[in-house]
Structure formats: C-alpha cells, structure tokens
Structure 1
Amino acid sequence: MALITKTLPAFACALAVNAACAAAPATAPNVAAHQPQIDKIVSEISPQRIEATIRRLVGFHTRHTMSDTESDTVGIGAARRWIKSEFEKCNAANGGRLQVAFDSHVAPVSRRISRPTEIVNVVATLPGTQPASADRIYVVSGHYDSRNTDVMDEKGYAPGANDDASGTAAVMEMACVMSKYKFDATIVFMTVAAEEQGLLGSAHWAEQAKQKNMNIAGMFTNDIIGSSRDEHGKADDRQVRLFAEGIPVEKDMSDAVRSLILTGGENDTISRQLARHVKEQGERYVKGFKVSVIQRRDRYLRGGDHMPFLERGYAALRFTEPAEDFNHQHQNVRTENGVTIGDLPEYNDYSYIAKVARVNAAALATLALAPASPQKVQMRTAQLENDSSLVWQANSEPDLAGYRVVWRETTAADWQGSKWVGNVTEAKIPLSKDNYFFGVQAVDKDGNASPATYPMPLK
C-alpha cells in the first residue's frame, strides 16, 4: 500500500504562523525508498527451509502440551529441544548475536490442563545495537503445540502442520535470516507452547513483560498461515489477513480510550496504527501481495497468542491465511467418504508461507530500524480555527532526521496525505482537524518511518 501524498496548498508555507514549514529542510528523507538490508532479508526467506522445518515438527507425532517430555523423538519435549537447537545453530552461524533460552513455568490444573504441567516457550532474542533504541522490543511468535479433535488427547497423532507448525517455521526462518543483520531496536523471535490449552505460554511471557515494565512496542503472532486454498479448493496465494483490534476490551474505560472515542479515533488505536505500518511496508517489499487488515481482534469462536498482549495494553496483531479449511484443523487424521481429514503437511503451500514470513520480516525490520513513534502528540483545541496545530515530545534517537504529519479523511482506513515538517516539535497544517484524522511519524536519516501516533486534545 503506497501512501498517497497530497501536497499542501502553495500558500501554506508562506504563512508567518506556519513555523514548521520554515524549519523543514529543503529535502526530506525518502520514506518510500527500499532499504537494501530489508530487500536482502526478504530475498533470503526460503520456502524450502520452511517446508523442511514443518515436516520435522510433524515428525514428532504429537506436540500436545501434555505429551511426552522425555523421548528424543516423540512429543512436545523433543520438539522444544529441537527448536532450541535450531535457534542455536543459526546463532553460531550468524556471529552469536541471538540469545536463545527456554522460558518455563508450571501451569496448574485447569479446564484444559488435567495435571500440573511445565509450559516451555523457546525464545531467541536479537538485541538492538543502538543504545537509545535497544530497550524498545518487537515480538513475533508462532505456537509449536498441536492438538486433535479432543483437545485433551495427549497421545494421538496430531501433526499440526498448519496449526501451527506453519507459524513456528516462519518465526524460526525469520530468526535465522534476520540474525545476520543489525537493528536499532530489539527483536524477540518466540515459539510458544500451550496455545491450544488456553494461550498459556504467551500469557506467561506477556505477564512477565508487563511486570518487568518492558517496552513492547509491537507484537505479531502467526497462527494458521500455511494454506492458500479454501474448503472448496479455490486458491488465493496473494493475500494474508491481519487482525487488528480497535477499542480495547476494558472493564473500566481508561482516560486514553475515552479520549479516542470522544474524538472519533476508534480506528486509531496503537494496534490499528501498527497494522497500517505492516500493510504499507509488507506490500512495499513483497510485490503483488496484499495485507488485508481485518478490523477486529480475531475470528469468531477463536483466539490467538496476540490476545494476552492486547489484554496487557500492548499493540498486537494476528496473521492468518485468507480462507481456512476446517477439515485440516483440530481434527484427528482419518478418511471419510474418500476425503482425507487432518492437519497434514501436504495441504500446506510453502511458497505462500514464505510470502507471509517475508511480510513479517519486512515489517519487523522497518520497525526495528525506525525511530520510536512520537510521544505525547497533541492537537491544540483552545480556539476555533480551520487549521490544525499539533505538538509532540522530541525523540531521543541520534539518527533522527525529523517528523512528518500524515492525515486521511474520516471515512478512509489508510493515510492519504503527508507533510514533512523537519526536526521540530510542533506543526500547523492548513486542513481542518474537524474534517481529517492526523498522525505524527518520526523518521530517521535513512528514511525509516515509525508508525503514526494519534493526537489527543490539548486545550
């Protein structure tokens, strides 16, 4: 999705009150240019390696959360040790920048846990290299556990090739490719357990992050990204669904949410802003592929590992294939009336998974190279005027070039116009705040732009 840049009226910068225009440099960084490092990352994502990883995961017979942990060939214990060893191999080959570890806790008996069970996430962290950005963290996950029709069946064959060896393989491939490169901010590649038993692995990690006051600036989960065919056999390998929550579910409405609603900003939550960034960057770097933003938290009757992050106030998104075939999810492998049912690797499209992984990688790379989204962005509302005056807090990154203001009509989903305003902390735009939605992006000297921040009213 290319941003449609509409120029401001020619008289705008001639106005004495428009100090932002006077401060703007003659040439702005080219935010539409491809970054060579990101092009390399995208080109290195391999469908062949993804397929090999998925078939290896399927080979563990079952990865049910309560399955065998002692065997070296069967069960979730063997699977998690193998995943960790693969991360470590990539780390050794790529200069030792990844920090690979198990993240473990014991889940008590609950509706889908019949006995106290150790839940183990496998986490590979690529630390940021810019001190001003290293504590800003982006998380990408897939869940490596699998299930049958009976969610408590811990011994039956549960290949889980699509749900969710596909997401797990994508995350592992991204980690192995992206750990060759350096980024300003930190990226966490995580394969989580016990998604099928109630999102237990991701909830534990997200809660620990919240307690440690970690700066999680964005989270993606990849869950069921394996097939490009629907239940009727119709193929669509040119798009992926990206689920993005609007107004967060809260028992008591926070002041921030109340301000969003009062100003009509229901479509400008941090998750929706993150989704706009993913769509723009994913479609820029993966030509001919569409990121279809679905403006809801998740599908009906379903959930994913982004939800514990949303519940703790983080921006989080879910990638899922365009049309699911439910014969190949949550089903015992069998044949009925000549139809094979079950989540088997032959029903995956490995080139399609690679495309989704490339979108993830491009979005993560641009986020981790760009400055943080501007903070304390506000719209002046103390007087009646037909212009829009915005103020914000200065970023701290040493490679910051400045800021640009973006806008769209109130009925539009994506940004339609933009104005480079330079390295300033306020700008006046000759468009009415009553008629447009605005945002402010931070841009570095290479043209990497942050997700936009929605302005809150300043009286």
Structure 2
Amino acid sequence: MRPSRRTVLTATAAAGVASATAPATAVAAADGTTDRPPATAQRPSRELRALLGEIDPDRIEATVRKLVSFGTRHTLSTQDDPARGIGAARDWIAAEMRSYAAASGGRMTVELQSYIQEPASRIPVATRITNVVATLRGSVTPERVYVVSGHYDSRASDVMDATSDAPGADDDASGVAVAMELARVMARRRPASTIVFAAVAGEEQGLYGAAYMAQQYKDAGTDVQGMFTNDIVGSSTADDGTRDPYTIRLFAEGVPSSETPEQAAVRRSVGGENDSPSRQLARFVRDVADNDATGMRVRVIYRRDRYRRGGDHIPFLERAYPAARFTEPAEDFAHQHQDVRVEDGKRYGDLPEFCDFAFTARVAKVNAAALWTLAQAPGTPRGAKIVTSTLTNATELTWTRGGEPDLAGYEIVWRETTDAEWTHVIPAGDVTSYEVDLSKDNVFVGVRAVNRAGLRGPVAFPAPQT
C-alpha cells in the first residue's frame, strides 16, 4: 500500500492536532522550561488512574525506615542475625513480598534467587548473594516480561566496611520501596504480561545480584522487553539546597552495549545511534508517564548512566535487554555513602530525614504508569525492516505480526533526523507492510502496535533490508 503524498500530509497534520490537544506536562521544571507532549503521547486510562491512586507515600516511608533499622545492609555484613545486617533485611523483604502475593490469587510468586559469589572485585571471600524476586504472571501473554528493581544492599564511606552503620535510605532503600509498593498495588490485578518486582543485592560491590538475575533470564531465553532500575530516588533536594520535586531523570543508553561489529557497521552507514531499544523504552515512558496523572516531568538523559558510576540496568543492557535507570534530578553528595555522624547537634548520613517521600511516591507512579501500560499494551513489533533494495523517494516498512489476541493494528511514526522525539503518527491498519511517501534518506521512521483498547506499545526502529 502506498498512499499519496496528500494522504500522508493529511495524516501527519491530524497527528499534530492530536499532540496539541494531549494533556500538557503537569508542572514545569525547576529551570522554568516545559516540554510539549510528544505526538506519540498516550492519555492515562481510568484503570491506570485508579492504580496510581493506590500508591501510598506513607507506606513508602515505612519501608525506607524499616530498611534503615537494620543498621547496615552491606553485602558482606552478617546474614544470620535476625535484627541487623543484610540477612535480616533480605528476610523482611521476602516476608513482605509474600504477604502481597497472598492477595494475588496465586498469580504472584516470591523466590530467593541465591548463589555463591566467589572472591572477586570488592568480594574478598566467597559470599552468598540473594535477590528477592516477586513475579506477577501475566494472564494473556505471560512469556513477555518486564522488570523493575531497587538494590537493598548499602555501604559506608569505605566500600569494604561491612560493620559500621550504613543506613542507605536514599541509596537505595528508596528504590526498593518503589519496587515493593508497586508489587503491593499490582498483586491484586491481572496484567496481560508478566511483571517482576525485584530487590537485588551486591550492587555496591559490583552489580553482582543484577548480573546474576539478568543471566538467569538470558540462559532461560526469557523475553524481557523492558527493565527499569530505581536507584537513588528518595530526595528532590540537591547538594546546594535547591529542590526540583516534580522531575525524575531517566538514563537511557544509545549505542547498545551488546552491539556486534556487523550491527555497528550498519548503524554507521544509516544512523540510528539515538534509536536503541533502550531509547525507545525511554520515549515510551515519556509517552505514558509525563502527565498530570503522575504529576511528574520525565527528563530523559541520553547517556547510559552518570560519570564514573553505574546501576543495575547495565547487566541487562549487556545481555541485549532494553533497560534504563531512574534517578533523582540532582544528587546530594554530602549524604550519599557517608558514615553516620553528628555535627552541631544534627545527624548526617544517608538517613530518612533527608528523603522526600511524596517525591518518591510520584516516582513510583511514573514506574507504575510505564510498567502497567507496557504489560497491557502489545509488545514491541518484531522483525521491523526498512526496504533499501530499490532506490526510491519513498519509505517501505515490513514487520512480523504480533500474536496478541486483542491486536488491532499498527502505526508508523516518523521524525526529522535532528529531532529527539517522534513528531508524527500515521495509522497503518492491521497489516505487516506499509509504504509512506517520505524519503527514507531524510527522516527516521518506526512502527508500533495498537490494541483494541487503544493502548500503544513501544516503537520498533527498523533495520535495513537490502
């Protein structure tokens, strides 16, 4: 099918009107800037708004304070003390997750994913590392999986100090609290696809727990179509005292960590360095979570992570899974990884006193909007190709039809090569190929699936088909 240029221009003009009437970003950023919603933005459904309304900042605060109460959660700390150390934290998280699973009607299961890490960097002796993993099985497409995590281990100033207090309220009890609150709220619901809520260990020593979990999925051939880690999402205050309580950063890698030399050669010839699966995942988060329902502005950062640091999304990226990291808008380095101390009668360190639990609850809503929509919408189209075997001033796309029973069809999206967001949407129908009267040499194009409820999945960026 090849519509006329007039048809294309009419469709794209309509998309422009749709984006103009989409809900505006709820609040401006601290610097006074505001973002226009992308053309691909999706309005929150009534179901999603009800889910978001159940996220409770008081429960998030209680989780953070409970994790802090274990004194230290260092990966090398004691594992058999019922009140102190990483073992006590592990057992409490598992018990809480199991209490959520009890309300799921058997759909949620909880496991202690454990292994012995032999001596390695920051692991001086063989050490048991355990992830607490709650899996909410999908009711329609359970083979499609989405993961959200936080790391429950903590550290003091000396990364090898396993005995001093290391409260880790912001880094990263806050992220664990997000994952646990989402597990609690979603356990009573029936997502179409599977959602995994994980509290992982070994992050501060070298991303060990997340690497083990990602490898388990890889070895099993699990179809993980998206992973988010929440790491340092407890405070909206920077080290200079300025606050930005309505912005969350989302770090998304460009060129995939798993790119082969052959893939790199193709990318260099046709572009797409800004169109990795992780960047499409990040754009999807903006589409569904940067709105009045979450009260947050999602600031996508086109970078794998911050300088000199990394999070639990990286092992997933290294295994070719789309993944991204949520982190607060500006970190307060005076409190991160600092030993608990008293100065002028005030306590310092990574303590709950420096957290903003209303902010963390809004971060949880951003995660919930993304995960729930991902789980209910069709998956990312597979086999997307752009036909380059003939020289024409048009763009022909092909893809493989998805197997979702409620699949309604597909949409073509496009943008100028200098734009960061998709700017135009063209309905394509329930087809597996489509030709657009736009030059493939001049624009970037993609395809996304739509179900009968009107939910759209992430965009697939096509590979050249010669």
Common fold: TM-score over 0.5: yes
Pairing 1:58-97 to 2, within 5 Å after superposition: 58-97=68-107
Structure 1 position 383, deviation (Å): 2.4
What is aligned with 1:276? 283
SS in 1 for 2:203: coil
SS in 1 for 2:102: helix
Q: Does structure 1 conserve the Cα–Cα contact (< 8 Å) formed by 2:57 and 2:360? A: yes
User: Is 1:304 equivalent to 2:300 in the alignment?
Assistant: no
- Residue 241 of structure 1 aligns to which amino acid in structure 2? R
Structure 1 position 253, deviation (Å): 3.2
Q: Does structure 2 conserve the Cα–Cα contact (< 8 Å) formed by 1:283 and 1:290? A: yes
What is aligned with 1:369? 376
User: Is 1:38 equivalent to 2:48 in the alignment?
Assistant: yes
CA RMSD of aligned residues (A): 1.9
What is aligned with 2:6? 10
What is aligned with 1:25? none
What is aligned with 2:463? 456
Q: Distance in 2 between matches of 1:422 and 1:390?
A: 13
What is aligned with 2:334? 327
Q: Distance in 1 between matches of 2:222 and 2:257?
A: 21
Q: Does structure 2 conserve the Cα–Cα contact (< 8 Å) formed by 1:60 and 1:74? A: yes
What is aligned with 1:213? 221
Q: Distance in 1 between matches of 2:434 and 2:292?
A: 31
- Residue 147 of structure 2 aligns to which amino acid in structure 1? V
Structure 1 position 335, deviation (Å): 3.4
- Residue 56 of structure 2 aligns to which amino acid in structure 1? S
- Residue 453 of structure 1 aligns to which amino acid in structure 2? A
Q: Give the count of matched residue pairs.
A: 435
Pairing 1:375-390 to 2, within 5 Å after superposition: 375-390=382-397
Q: TM-score, normalised by structure 2?
A: 0.90
Question: Which sits farther off after the overlay, 333-342 or 185-194?
Answer: 333-342
What is aligned with 2:212? 204
> Which blocks of at least 5 consecutive residues in structure 1 are unaligned?
1-6, 15-29
Identify if the C-alpha distance between structure 1 residues 402 and 77 changes in structure 2 by more than 3 Å, giving closer, same or farther.
same
Q: Distance in 2 between matches of 1:257 and 1:284?
A: 36
**Structure 1 runs of 4+ off > 6 angstroms?**
none
Q: Percent identity over the alignment? A: 50
Q: Does structure 1 conserve the Cα–Cα contact (< 8 Å) formed by 2:290 and 2:298? A: yes
User: Is 1:123 equivalent to 2:133 in the alignment?
Assistant: yes
Q: Does structure 1 conserve the Cα–Cα contact (< 8 Å) formed by 2:44 and 2:293? A: no
Cα displacement string for residues 376-424 of structure 1 (whole angstroms, at most 9, x for unaligned residues)? 1111222232221111111111110000000111111111000111100
Cα displacement string for residues 4-29 of structure 1 (whole angstroms, at most 9, x for unaligned residues)? xxx99534599xxxxxxxxxxxxxxx
- Residue 409 of structure 2 aligns to which amino acid in structure 1? G
Question: Which sits farther off after the overlay, 93-102 or 299-308?
Answer: 93-102
Q: Does structure 2 conserve the Cα–Cα contact (< 8 Å) formed by 1:8 and 1:419? A: no
Q: Distance in 2 between matches of 1:355 and 1:268?
A: 27
Structure 1 position 338, deviation (Å): 7.1
Identify if the C-alpha distance between structure 1 residues 328 and 294 changes in structure 2 by more than 3 Å, giving closer, same or farther.
same
Q: Does structure 1 conserve the Cα–Cα contact (< 8 Å) formed by 2:97 and 2:180? A: yes
Q: Does structure 1 conserve the Cα–Cα contact (< 8 Å) formed by 2:103 and 2:187? A: no
- Residue 265 of structure 2 aligns to which amino acid in structure 1? R
What is aligned with 1:22? none
User: Is 1:432 equivalent to 2:428 in the alignment?
Assistant: no
SS in 2 for 1:109: coil
Structure 1 position 319, deviation (Å): 0.3
What is aligned with 1:149? 157
Q: Distance in 1 between matches of 2:393 and 2:332?
A: 51
Q: Distance in 1 between matches of 2:292 and 2:143?
A: 26
Q: Distance in 1 between matches of 2:345 and 2:81?
A: 34
Structure 1 position 452, deviation (Å): 0.6
What is aligned with 1:190? 198
Q: Does structure 2 conserve the Cα–Cα contact (< 8 Å) formed by 1:33 and 1:447? A: no
SS in 1 for 2:184: helix
User: Is 1:99 equivalent to 2:109 in the alignment?
Assistant: yes
> Which blocks of at least 5 consecutive residues in structure 2 are unaligned?
11-39
Q: Distance in 1 between matches of 2:198 and 2:93?
A: 10
Q: TM-score, normalised by structure 1?
A: 0.91
Q: Does structure 2 conserve the Cα–Cα contact (< 8 Å) formed by 1:285 and 1:362? A: no
What is aligned with 1:137? 145
Identify if the C-alpha distance between structure 1 residues 11 and 54 changes in structure 2 by more than 3 Å, giving closer, same or farther.
closer
Q: Does structure 1 conserve the Cα–Cα contact (< 8 Å) formed by 2:41 and 2:287? A: no
Q: Distance in 1 between matches of 2:4 and 2:63?
A: 51
